[in-house]
């Protein structure tokens, strides 16, 4: 590997040090070097949202993020949300509301949906659609996805009363 740079970051809470080529994008680094294949690659140019992960808790597109730019940062993939209570509620709601068919978009959908639930607790259906507009799905027509997020928001509202 020529001109590689050594980076240190945390991936799903685990410290990782690795030599990477400057051109390697984060999604390839996660999938091929960390074997975290839950992060999917669709368009590879920042449009479809399938590759959405968290960097320091903020959603980002790993296909247009260079791995070297994550030096010193914390990356969380869908695998890292296994024990997260909001992600658990969303997984169940996506299943109940038929928010997935082939499932290709689902990891990115879950990462973005979790962010919406945490950041927009009072979002109506239209706001959910706008917030999720950076995640494309070729199968569902989106109704089930919106209903799943609605279900989680409503349950959290009821629980807080």
| Residue 42 interacting with ligand FES (CB under 6 A) | yes
The pair of structure tokens assigned to 158 is 């009821």
Contact positions with ligand FES (CB under 6 A) in 89-108: 100-105
CB-CB contact of 60 with 51 (8 Å): no
Task: Tell me whether residue 138 or residue 157 sits nearer to ligand FES (CB atom).
Answer: 138
SS3 call for 109 = helix
| Residue 49 interacting with ligand FES (CB under 6 A) | yes
| Residue 142 interacting with ligand FES (CB under 6 A) | no
| Residue 141 interacting with ligand FES (CB under 6 A) | no
Q: DSSP secondary-structure letter at 141?
A: -
| Residue 88 interacting with ligand FES (CB under 6 A) | no
Residues in a beta bridge with 19: 6
| Residue 37 interacting with ligand FES (CB under 6 A) | no
CA angle 49, 77, 57 (to 5 degrees): 85
Reported as half-sphere exposure (CB side, CA atoms, 13 A), residue 76 has a value of 18
SS3 call for 44 = coil
Task: Tell me whether residue 11 or residue 50 sits nearer to ligand FES (CB atom).
Answer: 50
Stretch that binds ligand FES, among 48-56, 76-84, 86-94, 111-119 (CB under 6 A): 48-56
Where do contacts with ligand FES occur on this chain (CB under 6 A)? 41-44, 46-51, 61, 63, 100-105, 137-140
């Amino acid at each position: 590997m020529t001109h590689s740079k050594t980076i240190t970051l945390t991936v799903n809470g685990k410290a990782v040090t690795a030599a990477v080529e400057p051109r390697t994008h984060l999604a390839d680094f996660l999938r091929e070097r960390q074997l975290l294949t839950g992060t999917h690659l669709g368009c590879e140019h920042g449009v479809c949202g399938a590759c959405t992960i968290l960097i320091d808790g903020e959603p980002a597109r790993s296909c247009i993020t260079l791995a070297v730019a994550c030096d010193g940062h914390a990356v969380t993939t869908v695998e890292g949300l296994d024990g997260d209570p909001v992600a658990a509620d969303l997984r169940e709601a996506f299943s109940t509301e038929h928010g997935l068919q082939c499932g290709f978009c689902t990891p990115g959908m879950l990462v973005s949906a979790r962010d919406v639930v945490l950041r927009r607790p009072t979002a109506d259906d239209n706001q959910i659609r706008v917030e999720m507009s950076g995640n494309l799905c070729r199968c569902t027509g989106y109704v089930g996805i919106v209903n799943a997020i609605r279900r989680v928001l409503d349950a959290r509202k009821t629980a807080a009363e």
